Amino acid sequence: MRRAVKVFILFFLGLQSLPASPDVLVLVHGYLGSASSWETSGVNAMLAQNGWQRAGLATPQGILPGPGGNAVNKVYPVELPSLAPIAVQANLLGGMVSAISARHPDESLILAGHSAGGVVARMVLVQGGAPQTKRLITIGSPHLGTMRAVEALDATDSSGLFGIIKDFFGGDLYDLVQDSWGVLIDLTPAQPGSLLYWLNTQPHPDIDYISVMRPGPVGIGDAMVPLFSQDMNNVPALAGKSQRIVVAASHELQSADGVGLVNILNKED
């Protein structure tokens, strides 16, 4: 309970100057996640308790309507192939956002992405695929990449003699990571020629940007993403444009993220 109160206070203190809430929230899960990640973590329940109702589930095949379609404030989790390259996910997300916008043509959107989902959402914005969006929130997202992606790629490199041995002894997790090579390459630290290097130098729309950051036990980041990489102010195209909110939490989604989203969404001028 004490930790939850602390997280709430950190979010509240960081939101002194944010504009009024939008009407439609689009939730973008991260690597190895799914639309259900927002449900099992308790985020959806916290949103619903505070007036943000689930209006549907967005999938590559279309939108499955939910009970909150006529609510004032609406929520749409999306279902993406999280093992696919970032560009593939962004293309699919762009189509889903367009479908959501068509259902609510007079309402603003806010995109909230956890982990790699924040990078996917930002790519959609850079490509002009979400013109109704007024705010992007990213939670523990590797905007400048993460060495964890490099480690995973090295651990599943199938080249040479050692690669053959790895292939022989590999299990389900090994196969899963191998199937993820496209997205893992995209999430390696930004350097010339990489997707993140390109993305981070592109013009970004003039909207609100909020970086929810996990400092970890020693203040340098959580177990998956270093703190500096979670901060969109370190993206060259966004330097000085992102609100920072630091939350003492692990990398995974949790109900405290629902508390934080409610405060961001419901904050008045």
CA distance 115 to 145: 10
- Written as six digits, the tokens of 76 are 């749409």
Distances in Å between the Cα of 30 and the Cα atoms of 35, 114, 118, 162 are 9, 5, 8, 30
Low-confidence ranges of the chain (pLDDT < 70): 1-22, 157-174, 268-269
Phi, psi angles (nearest 5°) of residue 103: -75, -25
Q: How many helices (H) and strands (E) does the chain have?
A: 12, 9
Q: Give the C-alpha separation, 20 to 266, whole Å.
A: 7
Domain boundaries, the chain: 2-146+198-266, 148-186
In whole angstroms, what is the distance from residue 147 CA to residue 137 CA? 23
Q: What is the mean pLDDT of the chain?
A: 87
- Whether 89 and 70 have beta carbons less than 8 Å apart is answered as no
Q: Residues 253, 114: contact at Cβ < 8 Å?
A: yes
- At the topology level, CATH places domain 2-146+198-266 in Rossmann fold (3.40.50)
- In tens, the pLDDT along 112-128 reads 999 999 999 999 999 99
- Rounded to two decimals, what is the model's pTM? 0.87
Local structure of 247: helix, strand or coil: coil
Q: What is the pLDDT of residue 228?
A: 97
Residue 257: how many other CB atoms lie within 10 Å: 26
Please tell me the predicted confidence (pLDDT) of residue 7.
47
Instruction: Provide the pLDDT for residue 260.
Output: 93
pLDDT digits (tens, 9 = 90+) for 157-189: 654 433 433 444 445 566 777 788 899 999 999
